[in-house]
Structure 1
Amino acid sequence: MVQADLATKSSTLFDLVAIYLAFSEDLLVMKDLPIRVTDDGCTVVDADAKRLHVAVDWHDLGAFRTFLVERLTSETVPKTAPSA
């Protein structure tokens, strides 16, 4: 088996926080903010934009990392997400 060079390659695990948010907000600090996406793709707070419910920080990043590793390496799917 060929080992990936982690200094130059990325895993194929895309937006795990978005997936987590589909079933839990417990480990994240959530706020309702006016958000828009600029023409060049940047996400910015804009007082004239639509208010969205967004994650802005972690309550417990370590717990998320532990949850993620356990979920990815488990033979069965855990029944619940961790709580902050």
Structure 2
Amino acid sequence: IEHFDLATIMRTLAEDSDYDKRRQQIIEANKKAEAEGNDKRWGLALTPVKFGISFTVQTLNQAGALVLIYTDGTIQVNHG
């Protein structure tokens, strides 16, 4: 593969979003919630996805996203 920049992109994205700091905050919040008997847990993920693998027909190279915004302020994004 030529120009495989995934590692650079992931590292830059993690740095720009303070991913490691936010992930640690979530781990600590979940430990506290568990200790208090709270069933609510938080999560955060940084997951690379390659789009358009092996589809030669243009109509197959499509994607969509579903963004759910809940009344408590949380957001869920599903994409494919």
Q: TM-score normalised to the size of structure 1?
A: 0.22
Which structure has the larger Rg? 2
Q: TM-score normalised to the size of structure 2?
A: 0.23
Higher normalized contact order (CA 8 Å, seq sep 6+, divided by chain length): 1
